[in-house]
Chain A
Amino acid sequence: MTYYALLFVAGFAGSFHCIGMCGGFACALGADPRGASATSLRHVLYNIGRLSSYCFLGALAGALGQVICTSLAAGSQREAPLLSASLDVGQRVLAVMAGLLMILMALRFFGVRGWHGVTSGFGGSTLVVSLRSLLGRRGFAAPLALGVLNGFLPCPLVYAMVAQAASTFDVLAGCLSMAAFGLGTFPAMLAMGGIGRLLAPTWRQRGVRLAGSFILALGLVTLCRGVMPMMAGHGLHHIWHLA
């Protein structure tokens, strides 16, 4: 449970980062003329759309991890049915990759840029232009659609969390990790829809740093799970999941 709580906090801290872009969308989504409850519904739908995209990505990543691990394990059992050591090997390789990816993403929050070109490429800008046209639309399907598509906008925070989800090697765990993270972003994003851009930039900066630290820590732990000796890794894995 602590694990998901941690992700929730990471999401919460990270949402100060979200305010930059997604917050803009939440603000622009604006108020519904039919009253406060309709406005709230709009924003809740938007956030539910976002959450479902995150959950989907998490489940997909978890499934991918699971498939890779099982196929590795199956392959090894055919050759050397000693113990399920290679399951661990597969998991550890994935954990190392996920950890490195998260560390890379975390460094971006501290101003280290390397992958900028990847995220601001063709797909991203096309998606943003498309999203604009959804903003002004009335009705409740549009905010939902906006949320869903918003969930796929290139975002280092999401990438890092997806990497984390992949390293759980389980569909449900992956989905829940992303759900915890997504729920963590809810308070700030819902507040954004209501109160607008009241938050001072310095606070946002601190939030971004905080999110970066969280992701860095998560990345390091994930990396450790992959790199540490087998028994210790196994033990840590258990602690990790039982905690």
Chain B
Amino acid sequence: MTPTPDALCRHCLLPVGRRGFARAVNGEACKFCCYGCCIAHQVKSGSGDASEAAWFLVRLGAGSFLSMNIMLFSLLVYSGAFTGTDRRVLPTIHLLLWGLATPAVLILGEPFLRETWSQARRGRLTSSALIVLGSFAAYAYSTLAVFQRGGHLYFDTASMVLMLFTLGRYLEAAGRARASRDLAPLLAAESELATVIEAGQEHRRPVREVRAGMLIRVKPGERIPVDGLIVEGCSHTDDAVITGESRHIAKSVGASVLAGSINLDGPLLICSSSAGGESRWAQICRSVRDALHQSSRTQRIADRVVGAFVPIVLALAAITLIYWVHRLPLDEAMLAALSVLVVACPCAVGLAAPMAHSLAIGQLARHGCLVRSPGALEALAGTHLIAFDKTGTLTLGRPRLVDVASEGVGDDEVLARLAGLERHSEHGLARAIALAASVRGLDPIAAEEVQILPGRGLRGMVHGEAVAAGSAALMHELGWVLPPALCGRAELMAASGHSVVFVGWSENALAGRARAALSFDDTPLPEARATVEALGALGLRVVLLSGDHAGAAARVAAAVCTDDWQAGLLPEAKRAALDQYRARHGAVAMVGDGLNDGPGLAWADVGIAVGSATDLARETADLVLPVGGLWLLPWVVGRARAVRSTILANLAWAFGYNLVALTCAVLGLLQPILAAAVMAGSSLLVVLNSLRLERLPGPCHPSEPALSAPARPASEPGPPAQGHSRALALLKAQS
């Protein structure tokens, strides 16, 4: 899918959807998902008197002033303050009410009217149509009553309904913006400007237009827009957006900097090393944007319900009116129908999932975990079994030389020859050998004509004699002698779970002979056991699916305490194993390093890549954990479950609420003002319930005591944060 960059709401970063509309703010075309977001964005981004921002609040304030006065007088009338001798002022009061209500309905109703009109022209009915219909009907009826000197007045209903809805939408939008606070730095990559120095002059340019080799100036407090090298200046940077860890790292001339990190304290001149759109930050940005665009299954169902909502409610209101008009006076029948119109709250259904999703995606991203689709979170929450790959996932992926069993030669000679040979290999074992040789202070003996034999080992020539290193099969293939004693020791090594490599060479042009067996061990990650145990505590079955031989798999499985293990699996066999588990345990998740397990990760219901170094765009995993981020997995699972339960609670509330409220309204048991208040409260409740996700504790590294929770990344030095802290300061000053 290729989303257009503008298709997310400018304010709350949720997809714009069908209610969306465009409006220019500060001379910039912005898209919003709802009227509330539009107001809230303008209030947030507007500065001083130049902007149009405060106009909405003026509207809300002036409208509230009028409707509160209407309500005040109406309350006085209802409570019988104008009975007896004061009765003759009633017509004057009625005229006064009309005089207050007319501007109130116009001021508050205009945005709803406009939205209804623009949607109706496109053949759609939105919930604002219900509000407009309801409040304008009440106003029209009351106006008639004023001038015909008869009947009850419902100006209070008309204006309060509009006021409550305006207020409700504004607060809802504020809540949604708060939910997307964590996402803003991630999505900034596409809208950020870079200060490019061209011909000695500074130009502000979009990041995507920056190419490799350009000079960029970054002021303290700004985000570094591109990957590059520091040419001038020194500073500290915070890479939290990329690595998930908020740490201040000192950087000076020649050091490389990552796009997306914040330049903390000194001005920097950076030479960009790649195009602006290719940095990991930009990739993350695209990935997060894609994720926000996709909707989970729950969300699709909810959207379909919302789509059918408005016509159904209109029909219900008509039925209510027709039913009651035969049994009650016209105005009471109208009131019942009005309640039906304003009490229905499709917004709560529509908001149930996306806010929780964007909140969770943002929070996970803050710790370096990327979610590719909201559906993955829901699937992870429903998973009962997690399968792990071994190498590089549960283990360090860096084998270590453990033991050398030699026959007739010294260990050092074996190692020196082998180091020379393995120099030509990229294999993980080669690094282990080079390390072991350098630790012993050995100089590798140079090898020539080195040939890599995939899956078996490698061979070459040292001083004109053949040398080979690899499996027993390789020795047989070469027709070299494999002494039984050496073979026996190698079997012992393999049985204890180590990888074994035979080394042999020929002497004096005779047939070669295996001289030594080396055993290597890939140590489990220090946090692997704690992670697996934490997952077990969450009620998940943990299994190990390894391509390695049985001994190694069993040893790792025992070390980290998995529930089950299978070894020697080729990629196809891994898929079959996943299918088996899926049949027995339901949805399965697979954790791998993303390099070797692509097919497995894609085949599982949820594929989780740890520390993936591959291009994010080609990543098959649904969830990408940062490098060394295995320990985050239990937290991620917990978070996914919290998201799912929040969404279910939201949906249960939204459907339950609409069912009960609509029934009450149809039966004529609900006052319209009360209905409007309850309705506005309903979507606020969904927003607040989703915001509760924010309060859940952050991840806690197993090596740290539970008390020292990881520090929250430093707050962004931007206007919203300032506004917030200033608000708090004001509130503190107050008491």
* A62→B730 CA distance, assembly (Å): 30
Complex interface: stretch among B47-55, B553-561, B639-647: B47-55
Query: Is B57 interfacial (CB-CB < 8 Å)?
Result: yes
Task: Give the docked Cα–Cα distance between A142 and B65 (Å).
Answer: 11
The answer to whether A63 has its CB under 8 Å from any CB of chain B is: yes
What separation, in Å, do the CA atoms of A138 and B65 have in the docked complex?
Answer: 18
Cα-based distance from A156 to B734 in the complex (angstroms):
10
* Stretch from B67-75, B146-154, B475-483 forming part of the interface with A: B67-75
B727 close to A (CB within 8 Å): yes
List the B side residues contacting A126 at CB < 8 Å.
171, 174, 727
The answer on a CB contact under 8 Å between A24 and B730 is yes
Q: Which residues of A contact B54 (CB under 8 A)?
A: 133-134, 136-137, 142
Given contacts A120-B728, A129-B723, contact A134 B734 (CB under 8 A): no
Establish whether residues A108 and B735, one from each chain, have CB atoms under 8 Å apart when the complex forms.
yes
Q: In the complex, how many angstroms separate the beta carbon of B49 from the nearest chain A beta carbon?
A: 5
Answer yes or no: B510 CB below 8 A from chain A CBs.
no
Given contacts A134-B58, A142-B58, contact A149 B731 (CB under 8 A): no
* B691 interface contact, C-beta 8 A: yes
Cβ-based interface call for A4 (8 A): no
The answer to the question of A130 belonging to the interface, with a C-beta cut-off of 8 Å to chain B, is: yes
Determine if A155 is an interface residue (Cβ-Cβ < 8 Å): yes
| A145-B60 in contact given A122-B691, A156-B735 (Cβ < 8 Å) | yes
Of A66, A136, A148, A153, which contacts B65 at CB under 8 A?
A: A148
Q: How far is the CB of B44 from chain A (nearest CB, A)?
A: 7
Quick check: is A205 within 8 A (CB to CB) of the other chain?
A: no
Residues of B within 8 A of A95 (CB): none
- The one of A59, A119, A138, A153 in contact with B71, judged by C-beta atoms closer than 8 angstroms, is A59
Q: How many Å from the CB of B22 to the closest CB on chain A?
A: 22
Interface size on A, residues (CB 8 A): 50
Beyond A52-B68, A133-B53, whether A141 also contacts B62 by CB under 8 A is yes
User: Could you give, for residues 43-68 of chain A, a 1 whenever the CB lies within 8 Å of some chain B CB and a 0 otherwise?
Assistant: 00000010011011001101100100
In the complex, which range does the number of interface residues on chain B fall in? Answer: 35 or more
Give the chain B neighbours of A59 by CB distance below 8 A: 71-72, 75-76
Alpha-carbon gap, A53 to B734, bound state (A): 19
Decide if B79 touches A20 in the complex (CB within 8 Å).
no
The residues of B that contact A148 with a CB separation of less than 8 Å are 61-62, 64-65, 68
Q: Given B691, B724, B731, which contacts A21 in the complex, CB threshold below 8 Å? A: B731
A53 contacts across to B, CB distance below 8 A: 64, 68
Report the Cα distance A146→B670, complex, angstroms: 32
With a cutoff of 8 Å between Cβ atoms, the chain A residues found around residue B62 in the complex are 141, 144-145, 148
Q: Does A128 contact B (CB under 8 A)?
A: yes
Q: Answer yes or no: B206 CB below 8 A from chain A CBs.
A: no
Residues 700-735 of B at the A interface (beta carbon under 8 Å): 723-724, 726-728, 730-735
A171-B76 contact in complex given A130-B57, A141-B58, A145-B61, C-beta closer than 8 Å = yes
Q: Is B570 an interface residue (CB 8 A)?
A: no
Q: Report yes or no: A21 in contact with B734, Cβ–Cβ below 8 A.
A: yes
Q: How far is the CA of A119 from the CA of B688 in the complex (A)?
A: 16
Give Cα distance in the complex from A170 to B76, angstroms. 9
Q: Is the CB of A123 within 8 A of B79?
A: no
Residues of A within 8 A of B44 (CB): 129
A21 close to B79 (CB less than 8 A): no
Let me know if B175 is at the binding interface, CB within 8 A: yes
Whether A175 and B71, one on each chain, are in contact in the complex, defined by CB atoms closer than 8 angstroms, is no
**B residues lining the A interface (CB < 8 Å):** 43-44, 46, 48-49, 53-54, 57-62, 64-65, 68-69, 71-72, 75-76, 78-79, 81, 170-171, 174-175, 178, 688, 691, 723-724, 726-728, 730-735
Pairs across A and B, CB under 8 Å, 20 listed: A24-B733, A49-B61, A49-B65, A55-B68, A59-B76, A60-B75, A124-B727, A126-B727, A129-B44, A129-B724, A129-B727, A132-B723, A134-B61, A136-B48, A137-B49, A145-B58, A145-B59, A149-B61, A172-B81, A175-B72
| Pairs A-B, 4 closest by C-beta atoms | A145-B61, A21-B734, A56-B68, A171-B79
Known A133-B57, A145-B60; further 19 A-B contacts with Cβ < 8 A: A49-B65, A63-B75, A125-B727, A125-B728, A129-B723, A131-B57, A132-B727, A133-B43, A134-B54, A136-B49, A136-B54, A139-B58, A141-B61, A144-B62, A144-B65, A145-B65, A148-B61, A171-B78, A175-B75
